[in-house]
Amino acid sequence: MSRARTARRIAAGAAYGGGGIGLLGAAAVGLVLAEVQLAKRVVGTGQPDPPRADGRYGSEFGGPDARPLRLAMLGDSTAAGLGVHRAGQTPAALLASGLAAVAERPVELRNVALSGAMSDDLDRQVGVLLADPSAYAPDVCVIMIGANDVTRRMPPTQSVRLLTTAVRKLRAAGAEVVVGTCPDLGTIEPVYQPLRWVARRVSRQLAAAQTIGVVEQGGRTVSLGDLLGPEFAANPRELFGPDAYHPSAEGYATAAMAVLPTLCASLGLWPESDRLDTTRNEDMLPVAKAASAAVAVAGTEVTAARAPWALLKHRRRRRVAALEPAEVTPAAAQNPSPQP
């Protein structure tokens, strides 16, 4: 079965309450479990909590009373920035500083991502963000989720259902939503064959199904193959952190550069329009085919067009500069929003 058809089946099961559609053949389970145990012994654990990056970025734009754009980050350890030591190296801080520079407006960042989270934690994270709309109502939200769903064998239909529910609630609250889909787990260095092949196949199938669900709710997706994909495979010592699993500061910057153009475009701030550029292999495809194509090329954006069609975009990236903690508004840095 093609990846597009598999992704459509998973998304349909998520939307209509179908049972778990397995992505692994039963005959492979015993071998895969043995490889998982070996990988767990090799991959490092015990990372310290990620640094807190909540606060105001780009304070040089506008006066103290200027209304900031409000950016929220949700998801797992990748969204939280596990593995780096400075707040300015986290993907949320990189995106906030990049958004501020493009918009020429201050950006208020709130990160509710939780290390180790699966998609079943998104409902709690959304609840934290939307608890008091008069105090904080995000303009745009970035979600990075899915890797733990794969490694802990959450049924893909359940994973997609939980993600699309979160996107629906955020969209209903007036926020734009950008989802960094499940990264390619087949390039984690200590993971050996055949688990590596299985991990790549399963994570890409989940990413394609996530894309279908998110686009149908009015969100945009970006393939995070760059996160653990070809660039990471080519430079594992530079782009993986000390535990050989989570990205390093350079790796998070690579991922942030892939997400930033779509983040800005969702707010109408990116200089490139949503018109197709055929010289960059952009296309309008049925959403399932667009989702399948996107996961094969890291950094690819999928956004809704006329149903059931979607735009496949390859936006030009800009380098994202790290923002040091001292550049965050002191009051915001000393009194960040609560984070689980």
Catalytic (active-site) positions:
77, 243, 246
Q: What is the dihedral of CA 279, 204, 155, 149, to 10 degrees?
A: -100
Pairwise CA distance, residues 265 & 195, whole Å: 37
- Residue whose tokens read 């009373």: 65
Residue 289 backbone class (left: φ over 0; alpha: ψ -120 to 50; beta: rest): alpha
- Strand order of the sheet with strand 220-222? 55-57, 107-111, 69-75, 140-144, 176-180, 220-222, 301-304, 309-313, 283-286
List helix spans (H) across 175-266. 195-216, 225-228, 230-234, 236-239, 249-266
The amino acid that residue 8 corresponds to is R
Pairwise CA distance, residues 221 & 215, whole Å: 7
Nearest to 6 by CA among 315, 295, 317, 322: 295
Whether residue 317 contacts residue 98, with contact meaning beta carbons closer than 8 Å, is answered with no
Q: What residues have CB less than 8 Å from 165, skipping those under 6 apart?
A: 122, 123
- CA 102 to chain CA centroid, Å, is 20
Whether residue 332 contacts residue 257, with contact meaning beta carbons closer than 8 Å, is answered with no
Q: What residues have CB less than 8 Å from 98, skipping those under 6 apart?
A: 256, 260, 263, 264, 318, 320, 321
Pairwise CA distance, residues 120 & 166, whole Å: 10
Nearest to 110 by CA among 127, 129, 123: 129
Pairwise CA distance, residues 185 & 193, whole Å: 12
